[in-house]
Chains A and B, each alone.
Chain A
Amino acid sequence: MSGTLGIVILAHTALDRVAQVARFWARAGCPVVIHLDKAVDRAACRALSTSLADSPDVGFSPRHRCEWGTWGLVAATQDAATQILARHPAVRHVYLTSGACLPLRPARDLIRYLDARPHTDFIESAATSDVPWTVGGLEMERFTLHFPFPWRRRRGLFDRYVALQRALGVTRAIPPGIAPHMGSQWWCLTRRTLSAILEDPRRAELDRYFRKVWIPDESYFQSLARLWSEKIESRSLTLSKFDLQGKPHVFYDDHLHLLRRSDCFVARKVWPHATRLYDEFLSDNGHRAEQSDPNPAKIDRVFARALERGRRGRPGKVSQGRYPRAGREAGPTAARYAVFHGFSEVFADFGPWLARSAGATVHGHLFAADRVQFAGGATMAPGAICDLAGIRDANPTAFLQNLVWNARGTRQCFLFGPRDRQAIAPVLARDPNCELHVVTGAWAITLFRTNDNFGVLRAEAGRLQKIEETTLRAWQAPDAAARVRVWTLAEFLQAPMETMLPILDHLGPREARHLTEAPRLHPLDGFPQFLQNLRNMGMQLHLTGDFALPDVAQPQDRPTQKPVLVNK
């Protein structure tokens, strides 16, 4: 019998698989023409033709050297197609496949599908201007420059020749009547369209033109089918996905279920050692003869995710395979977190209170000089991060990244201040995930409450103010990405709770928050006088803000002062 569907296979490796697939088509009555790359050695060719000698409908076409992106592939296709049309007059559709293509459905499904659409050409064919997938960035230029050098083997020569032509302003004339189109090279054309292309009186001229076009196998038939086809369905019947480098994704045994559910007719490219796929799909028990249309969406998702992983990685996770250089990291951390600078100096029990009110994990001073103060006094945090300052200081950025990454799903907060190790400060500034709430000059309250000699206090105040100033400068830099809100101590003390409430709201959903208690302010009787004494000792206090001397802050009675919004 002679079928209406003819198969052309372009093969260059894994010839045992090619034989298996050819036999599959032949069994269903489809004539097959195999083109073997000229690079395949003689013995392998002979072995293949011997093993297929029992299938009279399998033939071999004249061999060309098929290098990626060169004319050889088109020439091979032309010869094979001519041969199959001439020798098998019943053939109505010719399906072009590669040696790594695997039919996913019984051949009769495909035959029936094409019988129902006898005049339709299935060829992905998009106008050049709309094509986003081009490798190397040459879109229109692939039709208007000369490309005599293979891109894979002679990259340098290729690039230099392109540059030279650009410099000289070379533009090839596109033959009249041809609108350049591109698309997948795996098509299924009707005899009518294919023979029109192959027997075109202008073929010599067109071949001459396309011979020097770049990747002609993606544009020759795609452009010419537009001239002759009655009805083009611009899609490929072959399921084929491409990765970042423009090479097809490979299917393995573990894709079996995905491939089954795709309902596509043919998949490319299949790993030659995927024995289970070949066994399953080439066996004759065609138990799935339903008439569903191809639906590659599910498989699309898997590969789209893989592409995304390869291209963008997991922001905030530095790993052995992902080490973004400065500027390419898309934020150093994986999730939003909040830093409270100065608050624990103002309130007596700020940390525990915040933990109760905000429903977040509130650590103490993570960057304290002596030890990492994890929430609840723990000695270890998720991920098995230990509380040793030495290990943290060996790479503070990694410490923060690990902390946030391991706690994905729970909001992290921690306290900070000028007594802590400051190496992390610039990292916080450039992290868009970081919310920085800063009360400046709050360290003065702690000094006020200690019982040291005034000379010691004066020196310490100078030191802390200097550290805080440097850190603030980093946080308030114009290129800082963190959301930073800064109050001076005086501003903050005017209305501490009115300032805190919006911060709490921002931290998390307000689940009928039992804000029954307010954090306890440290008693500040005599604090303005203390500051004045520091000033009298010659210190210029500019981070605390201005306190009226006789009057101690009575926060709740004052009108709310708007916080300074420094950065969004």
Chain B
Amino acid sequence: MGLWQSYRMRLRRQRLLIRAFRKRRELRPVHLRLGKIGSDDILLFSTLRNEMDRLPHFLRHYRKQGVGHFLIVDNCSGDGSGEYLRAQPDVSLWRAEASYRRARYGMDWLNRLLMVHGHGHWCVTVDPDELLVFPFCDTRPLRALTDWLDSSGLRSFSAMLLDLYPRGDLTAEPESDMTDPLAAACWFDPGNYRMQRNPVYHNLWIQGGPRERAFFAEQPQRAPALNKIPLVRWNRRYAYVSSTHMLLPRGLNQVYDTSGGEKASGILLHTKFLPVFAEKTREEIDRGEHYSNSGEYRAYARALERGPALWSEFSQRYVNWRQLEGLGLMSKGSWA
């Protein structure tokens, strides 16, 4: 049984890699600066569309943490994101005009780029609305973490998605400009997450948070997964299976301790619910390029018609990683 399972996982992984290989022609280089990548640089991979609002802050956040090079797939942005990225000295940019959905929500493209350019590097794979927070990130660069992971024999690092939202109505007009999304939306749910182990891929499946209680109250099983493994010391034989929720081979998903201890983990601050969210939701439903027929966005739209605020009296305002660590949302593990 165990052997059969392992064999099936192997086949599945190979299929993902072949798929990624076949999608390589959909990626058209716009401006590549791959020669600038140093042999031990930390790389960041992302797919995006119309994210001009977030990009400057996004790049600033990860540059400050010490990401050496950004490898980005632009899925037909029309808001100047492409032009902006093209001008950045540490970005290599591809353009993909094919279907986002048929590229498994961009993962085929990223698996392809990871395979070719990520091999041997520590790679961060995130969306433009995901900002990584890790233990000691205010005093130590990302390299301190990856060096420690290396010396501990760990190849992957988990960072749960933490939805941030504004205090007011989601449909309200933005008050401030968007230079810092963390200023526009800085509240989160501190302790309503549940998790169970996925018997097939051995990752933890985490659900809960504001999206579940506001948009999926009737069908909590369909609430979005919050578990993510965005930081991996990549090997060309690895593949992301579904978004960055899990990988193959399965050993990479073993980012949690099962004997009672705590493994180090981080948080992806999810700045999805900026005040422009309502507008984006309408656009994404029209495009229909999202998971399960954009069902998630339909749920948002239904709820938005009622004009909900995600904020509650038990919401907490984001301060820093120590706060999240104290709440038990992330952990230092045995790193000191």
Seen from chain A, the residues whose Cβ lies within 8 Å of a Cβ on chain B are 243-245, 247, 249-250, 252-254, 271, 273, 302-303, 305-307, 309-315, 317-325, 328-330, 380-386, 388, 390-391, 394-395, 398-399, 402, 405-406
Contacts and interface: CB of A to CB of B under 8 A. Distances in A.
Interface string B188-215: 0111111111000000101110101100
B177 interface: no
A384 B212 CA distance: 11
B158 A320 contact: yes
Contacts of A320: 158-160, 195, 204, 206, 227, 255-256, 265, 329-331
A324 B217 contact: no
B220 A391 contact: yes
A63 to B, nearest CB: 24
A318 B147 CA distance: 27
Given A247-B151, A319-B328, 4 more contacts: A322-B260, A322-B261, A322-B331, A383-B314
A398 B218 CA distance: 18
Given A250-B148, A402-B191, A322 B263 contact: yes
A385 B260 CA distance: 24
Interface of B: 136, 139-141, 143-144, 147-148, 151-153, 158-160, 189-197, 204, 206-208, 210, 212-213, 217-221, 227, 255-265, 312-315, 328-336
B190 A328 contact: no
Residue from B158, B329, B336 having most chain A Cβ neighbours under 10 A: B336
B269 to A, nearest CB: 14
A386 B192 contact: yes
A402 B260 contact: no
A328 B258 contact: yes
A254 B136 contact: yes
Contacts of B315: 384
B43 to A, nearest CB: 18
A309 B328 CA distance: 11
A273 B143 CA distance: 9
- Sorted nearest first, the 3 A-B pairs with minimum C-beta distance are A310-B334, A383-B191, A398-B194
A308 B256 CA distance: 16
Contacts of A318: 195
A309 B220 contact: no
B328 A405 contact: yes
Given A252-B144, A321-B255, A247 B152 contact: yes
A271 B221 CA distance: 44
24 contacts: A245-B153, A250-B151, A252-B140, A254-B140, A310-B257, A314-B328, A318-B195, A319-B262, A319-B329, A320-B159, A320-B330, A323-B197, A323-B204, A323-B256, A324-B260, A328-B259, A380-B312, A382-B191, A384-B312, A391-B220, A394-B207, A394-B220, A402-B192, A402-B194
A409 to B, nearest CB: 13
Given A254-B139, A394-B220, A395-B196, A325 B336 contact: no
B192 A383 contact: yes
Given A313-B261, A383-B190, A273 B256 contact: no
Contacts of B314: 380-385
A311 B332 CA distance: 12
A316 to B, nearest CB: 9
B195 A384 contact: no
B26 to A, nearest CB: 33
A13 to B, nearest CB: 11
Contact of B218 (A249, A305, A390): A390
B191 A309 contact: no
Contacts of A247: 151-152
A321 B258 contact: no
Contacts of B262: 309-310, 313-314, 319, 321-322
A405 B192 CA distance: 10
Contacts of A325: 258-259
Contacts of A383: 189-192, 314
Given A320-B265, A322-B262, A398-B194, A391 B158 contact: no
Nearest to A317: B328
B257 A313 contact: yes
A324 B258 contact: yes
Nearest to A249: B336
A305 B144 contact: no
Name, among B259, B331, B334, the residue most crowded by chain A CB atoms within 10 Å (CB to CB): B334
B257 A322 contact: yes
Given A384-B190, A405-B191, A303 B336 contact: yes
B221 A394 contact: yes
Candidate in A307, A384, A390 with the most chain B CB atoms within 10 angstroms: A384
Contacts of A405: 191, 328
A520 B159 CA distance: 52
Given A312-B260, A384-B190, A395-B194, A243 B220 contact: no
B333 A309 contact: yes
Most chain B C-beta atoms within 10 Å of own C-beta, residue among A302, A391, A399: A391
